[in-house]
Structure formats: C-alpha cells, structure tokens
DNA sequence: CAAGTACGAGAGCGGTGCTCTCTTCAAGAG
DNA sequence: CTCTTGAAGAGAGCACCGCTCTCGTACTTG
C-alpha cells in the first residue's frame, strides 16, 4: 500500500473511530466507570466479541480515549494562544487558562478521565505522555515569549526557587534550539501548571459546591496570581 | 437502651467496621474501580447478600469510605497544627501542607477516592461536606491566627481580590464568634486551597512523572509561595 | 413463654469483560 | 483465473459482578 492506504485499512480505521465515538458518547453520558464494551457494541449493532478486533481490552479503549482527550484539550490550548498571539503575554496566559477551564467544564467526564484518578493500572502508558504535555508546552511558550521580551521577573518569595528538581527529559527540552528560558524558571512553571489544574479540578469535581459561588470571577483573579507567580508581569503599553 | 448501646447494636457496628476495614484494604490494594462487594464478603467469610444488611449498595459502602478518608485526612491536618501551634503561623502552614501531602502519598487510593474523579453519581452526598471541609478549616485557622497578630498582608497582585464569590454558608461561617478574618481574604484562601491539592494530585496521580524529579523540594518551595499568596508573611523573631 | 425481628445462607437474574471456535469473504500470489 | 491466506464478525460460554428474593434460625422483647 502506498501513501493512500487501501480500502481495507481505511475501513478498519473508520470502524475503530466509530467505536471511539460511541464510547465517548457513553463516557460523556455516564462517566468512565459505567462505560461498557458490550453497550458500545450493542449501540453499533455489532456483537461484543467483534470489538476485540479493534481494542484488545477495555483498558486499551480507555487509553485511546485518554489520548484523544489530552489531544483535544491540547489543541484547545494551542488554538487559544494562536488566536491572541504571544506579543501580549498576559493576555495569552489568561486566554490559555480560560480555554482549558472552558474545555474542562464542557467535557467534565473526559476531563475526569485525564486529570482525575488514573483508572487503569497505576502507570500511564507511554503514548499518553506526549499528548499530556501539550498544555504545559503552551504555557511554556507564553513564558518563553515574555522572557524574550525581558519581562520574566524573578519570584518575590524568598526560597521559591529550587535546583535540580527537573527530570532529565525536561532539562533536555529546555535546551532545544529556540528555547531560552532559564532552567530555574521551569520549576515555578511546573508548580503553577499543577495549581492551575487544581483550581479547575475543584470546580469540575464539585469541591467548590456551597463554598464558592462566582467561580469564574475567582478563576480569573487567580489566573493573574498564577501568571505573577511564573514571573509574568503586565504587558507594557507597546504590546 | 441507654448511653451504652446494647450488645446487638455493638455487634452490628463491629461487623460494619470490619466490612469497611476489609474494603479499605482492597481499596488500598486495587483501587476503587476494582473494589468488589463479593470479594469483601468472601474475605470476611460471609455470603455477599449478607453484606447488604449493612450497606444498601456498593455506592453506600464507597460513600462510607469517602467519609472516613476525609476524616482521616482532616484529623491528620488537625494533629499537625496542634503539634506545632499557630503562634508561628508560617511553620504551622508548612506543617499542615506537609502532613496533607504525606497522607496523600501514603494513601494514594484513598486520596484518589476523595480528590480524584467523583465515582458515584455526580453530587456528593450531604454527609460528606462536613468531613471534606476539615482541612480547609485548618488552613483557615492558621490564616486567622496570623490575622490576629496583624500579619495577614494584602495581596500584591492587582485585581487578585474579588467580591461576592463566596457562598452564603461560608459567609455565615466567617461571621461566627471568634472568627475575625476579613471576608475578602476568603477567596484567596479558597483558591490556594485548590492549588495545594492540585500540587498534591499531580504528584499522586503521576502527572509529574518524567517531569519533576525532586517533588518534595518543589512542594516545600511552592507551599511558601502559597502562604505568601494567602497573605502570610514570615513570622517575626518574637514567635 | 410466645411473638416478632434482625441476620445469614442460598439460589437466581441480568449484566459485565474476555476467550474460543466457526463461518464467511475479500485481497493477494501463483 | 484459481487458490490460499488472513482478517472480520457471529455466537456460545466462562467467571465474575451488583443486587434481589426467599427461607430457616437465633435472639430480643413484650
């Protein structure tokens, strides 16, 4: 087969896609816990055993959904930053955070799948790490552009920076061509990354019920604090 | 029956406790998804139907475990602050955060049960809200003691405070006798509360895999930033 | 002592993930 | 064009699950 895959492979990919779509629909309706292979097959007019030709187990189907969810969220974040550009880094920062929150609220079960309790096993399969890091990379890109403009401040809390916390993979990533962000800024960013999702998780998972009323206002305000924590300072008037 | 419950009630409570213990053991070993009523009953030498005399459904057993987990974590936080006192509020703040993180890392599946994806239904039962707020109340207590010492600073990020985000329940709580914390400090605290658990969740749920190596160092450093964000400033030399 | 009741056992229902076998059918090799 | 090979789906079946119902028993209570 050449660049154009044969009809058979195309059909196979289409069926796999239909299975994922139906599974995603059940996921959105009932949550990951109640997602059933048999129900998916039933809805698609197949018999349950046929489904195993495409996904070797329920966990593999879930993993595929996880990868898709990471990619959907990552694409959302990337689109947000593309739409506003990084010249005004404060605006870009807020736009990305807002887009991530919006996606999470619109897809609570998919969000729970990727940022809630890890459902299958305890170690995420290797093919989830790249999609999972897309949002973080977008945040890094915003910080990078601020740094290039010389507007990445040092933290104003003493002892907030710490050395040698980064894994080697990330250290290498930071040394890639085009990346000039100092290594000591990365831990701050990683912490803020986690804090951002903590904020969103509390809202999506209902921890703010009967505590916070106007969650959007709190989110918007806190996103500014997080930007400050990374070192971003209000964009100058020339932006 | 008087204050001392009859033998029958005592036996009933003991069996219910044994069921929860066994369930907790399976939870720790396999996770909430794989917790099975039949396996619990089998391990206890009963038949599965007998278990329904104590918990009307699997979800009810899970809810009981959730309440217990919230209480265990809450007690841990309370003990931490009792051990160091609130005179040195920075030390108290770090101690509480550290204790919560320690508990989470020691009980990952129980942590996932309460701060991961909500497993049963979407609305948490009413009897979980009080246990769930114990950690937040401890953090509030630390902030309160700093405020009494006149050491609760205003945020240094413009626009970080916002009005009318609090639910009425919390507003009432803040007006209880002995509570003098200004209402505008509460949203900051709520945001930091969520951010703290975001930090811990990323570590427990493996989001920091291949990203952050020395998670403890990053946590300790970030906890200081969070304290700063609440308004806590380093305790004076007279503490 | 008698009535009532809480408890455990057991069978059973419908559902699940997953495996195995069997048939069909279409693509590629000669 | 025939023949072979392999992939796809159907169906039965296994072990397990949550949950319900019934039935004997043992204990508490009036």
Whole-prediction pTM: 0.94
Alpha helix ranges (H) inside A85-184: 89-106, 108-115, 129-132, 134-148, 168-174
Q: Where in chain B is the domain with CATH 1.10.357.10?
A: 66-230
Q: What is the mean pLDDT of residues A164-177?
A: 91
Q: Which residue is nearest to nucleotide D27 (CA to C1')?
A: B8
pLDDT above 50: residue A1: no
Share of chain A above pLDDT 90, in %: 82
Q: What is the mean pLDDT of residues A4-28?
A: 88
Half-sphere exposure of B43 (CA within 13 A, CB side): 16
Tell whether A161 lies on the interface with B, counting CB pairs under 8 A. Answer: yes
- Tell me if A73 sits within 8 A of A103, measured CB to CB: yes
Pick A157 or B1 by higher pLDDT: A157
**Residue B158 confidence (pLDDT):** 62
Topology (CATH level 3) of domain A1-56 = Arc Repressor Mutant, subunit A (1.10.10)
Measured between beta carbons, the chain B residues lying within 8 angstroms of A221 are: 159-162, 187, 191
Mutation test of the interface with chain A: which of B29, B69, B166, B225, choosing the one with the most A Cβ atoms within 10 A?
B225
Beta carbons of B210 and A165 less than 8 Å apart: no
> pLDDT (tens digit, 9 = 90+) per residue, B68-99?
999 999 999 999 999 999 999 999 999 999 99
With b meaning 16 or more CB within 10 Å and e meaning fewer, what string describes A23-54?
bbebbeeebbbebebeebbeebebeeeebeeb
**Residue A155 confidence (pLDDT):** 80
d(CA B212, CA A104): 24
Pick A185 or A3 by higher pLDDT: A185
A219 CA: distance to closest CA in chain B (Å): 8
Measured between beta carbons, the chain B residues lying within 8 angstroms of A158 are: 224
A3 CA: distance to closest CA in chain B (Å): 35
Measured between beta carbons, the chain B residues lying within 8 angstroms of A199 are: 191, 194-195, 198
Q: Which residue is nearest to nucleotide C9 (CA to C1')?
A: B47
Beta carbons of A195 and B193 less than 8 Å apart: no
Candidates B112, B118, B224; nearest CB to A159: B224
**Residue B237 confidence (pLDDT):** 61
Measured between beta carbons, the chain A residues lying within 8 angstroms of B137 are: none
pLDDT above 70: residue A237: no
**Residue B122 confidence (pLDDT):** 57
- Strand D bases with any atom < 7 A from protein Cβ: 7-13, 16-22, 27-29
For chain B, which ranges sit under pLDDT 50? 1-3, 239
The closest of A21, A160, A229, A175 to B217, measured between CA atoms, is: A160
Beta carbons of A117 and B210 less than 8 Å apart: no
**Residue B234 confidence (pLDDT):** 87
> What three-state secondary structure class fits A152?
strand
Q: What is the mean pLDDT of residues A186-204?
A: 97
Q: Which CATH number fits domain B66-230: 3.40.366.10, 1.10.357.10, 2.60.120.380, 1.10.260.40?
A: 1.10.357.10
> pLDDT (tens digit, 9 = 90+) per residue, A95-115?
999 999 999 999 999 999 999
**Residue B159 confidence (pLDDT):** 61
Mutation test of the interface with chain B: which of A117, A124, A226, A227, choosing the one with the most B Cβ atoms within 10 A?
A117
- Strand C bases with any atom < 7 A from protein Cβ: 6-12, 15-21, 26-28
* Tokens describing residue B98: 């550290």
Tell whether B18 lies on the interface with A, counting CB pairs under 8 A. Answer: no
> Which nucleotide is nearest, taking the CA of residue A58 and each C1'?
C17
pLDDT above 60: residue A239: no
**Residue B8 confidence (pLDDT):** 73
User: Strand C within 7 Å of which CB atoms in B 87-106?
Assistant: none
A 119-138 near B (Cβ less than 8 A): 119, 122-124, 129, 132-133, 136
Which of the four pLDDT bands, split at 50, 70 and 90, describes residue A118? Answer: confident
Q: Where in chain A is the domain with CATH 1.10.10?
A: 1-56
pLDDT above 80: residue A158: no
> pLDDT (tens digit, 9 = 90+) per residue, A30-64?
999 999 999 999 999 999 999 999 999 999 999 99
Q: Return mean pLDDT, chain A.
A: 91
Beta carbons of A201 and B202 less than 8 Å apart: no
d(CA B69, CA B103): 10
Distance measured from the CA of protein residue A122 to the C1' of nucleotide C22, in angstroms: 38
Nearest 10 degrees: Cα torsion B109, B111, B117, B119: 60
**Residue A156 confidence (pLDDT):** 76
B16 touches strand C (CB under 7 A): no
The conformation of residue A153, written as its DSSP 8-state character, comes to: P
**Residue A149 confidence (pLDDT):** 93
Mutation test of the interface with chain A: which of B168, B191, B213, choosing the one with the most A Cβ atoms within 10 A?
B191
């Amino acid at each position: 087969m050449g660049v154009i895959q044969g009809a058979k492979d195309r059909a196979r990919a289409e069926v796999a896609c239909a299975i994922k779509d139906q599974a995603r629909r059940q996921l959105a309706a009932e949550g990951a816990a109640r997602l059933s292979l048999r129900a998916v097959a039933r809805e698609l007019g197949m018999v349950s055993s046929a489904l195993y030709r495409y996904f070797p187990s329920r966990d593999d189907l879930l993993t595929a959904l996880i990868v898709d969810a990471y990619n959907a969220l990552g694409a959302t974040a990337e689109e947000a930053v593309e739409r506003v550009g990084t010249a005004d880094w404060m605006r870009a920062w807020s736009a990305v955070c807002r887009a991530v929150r919006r996606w999470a609220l619109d897809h609570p079960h998919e969000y729970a799948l990727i940022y809630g309790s890890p459902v299958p096993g305890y170690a995420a399969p290797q093919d989830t790490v790249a999609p999972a890091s897309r949002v973080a990379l977008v945040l890094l890109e915003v910080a990078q552009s601020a740094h290039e403009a010389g507007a990445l401040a040092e933290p104003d809390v003493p002892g907030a920076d710490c050395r040698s916390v980064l894994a080697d993979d990330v250290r290498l990533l930071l040394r890639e061509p085009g990346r000039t962000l100092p290594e000591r800024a990365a831990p701050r960013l990683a912490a803020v990354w986690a804090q951002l999702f903590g904020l969103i998780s509390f809202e999506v998972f209902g921890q703010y019920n009967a505590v916070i009323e106007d969650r959007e206002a709190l989110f918007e305000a806190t996103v500014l604090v997080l930007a400050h924590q990374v070192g971003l300072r209000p964009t100058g008037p020339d932006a």
